[in-house]
Amino acid sequence: MICVVGSINTDLVIEVEKIPRPGETIAGKSLAHYPGGKGANQAVAAARLGAQVAMFGVLGSDQSGDDLRAGLLRNNVDVQGVERAEDIPSGLAVISVAKSSENAITVVAGANALVNRQFIDRHIKQLSRCDIVLLQLEIPLDTIDYLLHLLPSDRPLVILDPAPAQDISHLPLDRIDVLTPNENELELLTGSCDIEVGSRLLISRGVKNVICTAGADGAYLTNANAHTHFPALSVTPIDATAAGDAFNGALAWALQTRSLSDAIPYACAAGALAATKKGAQPSLPVLGEIEKMLKNKGQGTHRAK
């Protein structure tokens, strides 16, 4: 069982020619609503591949809370750990997606802010018993810190996607089995724009494995033994929203039965496929799409550096 502790949002997505600069007003081309939130996206990403997934988060008692909960259920995500709060709206993200496929995201946490220490106390039994705990940073950082201290030291396996990027140096980094920053996040966490240097710094601070996603350059796995490159799968991206979430959800799914090196190509394929479709959860691939892509591109091999 994979347990995801994290955010659940409605995404308001505006298609634009380019991301506006500060002070600039531009015309949006279209407006759409999608289910999103980094936590919920990663839960759905793993469930679409066939994993048993339980989501832990907080929604408001509003219509979007009802819709987001129903969406998780439709994707076979267990929602017994999704609480409903009164007098606070469900999480909301306003996303501009440019023609280049880049995006700019503003999140109003709403009920996601209530994923706090008391919430963890109510669910720690189940979280401690699962195989993999998948975390992101769209809930309070204090909650992540508290949870990492409470989890047993040997299991579950902990994957932390440090997005949106923030300083995690005070967290018990030795309780993180796999940290999955992108290049920008890695630079923010370590001050280094060199993937190998930054990743090795995090390993020296206690993280067991770092997988840095590097867009068109693929991904790099670093641990005490090696620094290994995994090539990207080339696609024509139209919307990068949730590509990182697809990567993390697929990684968690694949790690249930595979080594890290064997799991990463699946995660790379999931991330690439998600960038070829609009929206967060609507873009998350099913297993057949990933297998087809890996077969066609001959991926699955990697070179050690």
Residue 177 sits in the site that holds ligand RIB (CB under 6 A): no
What CA–CA distance (Å, rounded) separates 105 from 38?
Answer: 12
> Which residues are registered as beta bridge partners of 33?
12
**In angstroms, what is the minimal distance from the CB of 10 to ligand RIB?**
8
Residue 107 sits in the site that holds ligand RIB (CB under 6 A): yes
| Contact flags string 240-269 toward ligand RIB, x per CB under 6 A | -xx-xx------------------------
Q: Which of 9, 182, 248, 283 binds ligand RIB (CB under 6 A)?
A: 9
Residue 245 falls in the annotated catalytic set:
yes
| Contact flags string 142-171 toward ligand RIB, x per CB under 6 A | ------------------------------
3-state secondary structure of 56: strand
Q: HSE of 214 in the Cβ direction (CA atoms, 13 Å)?
A: 19
Footprint on residues 188-227 left by ligand RIB (CB under 6 A): none
CB-neighbour burial class of residue 133 (10 A; exposed 0-12, middle 13-18, buried 19+): buried
* Catalytic residue from among 217, 239, 245, 262: 245
Of 106 and 118, nearer to ligand RIB (C-beta) is 106
Per-residue exposure over 276-289, b if at least 16 CB sit within 10 Å of its own CB, e if not: bbebbbebbbeeeb
What CA–CA distance (Å, rounded) separates 143 from 238?
Answer: 34
Catalytic residues: 245
Q: Which residues bind ligand RIB (CB under 6 A)?
A: 7, 9, 11, 36-38, 41, 93, 105, 107, 138, 241-242, 244-245, 280
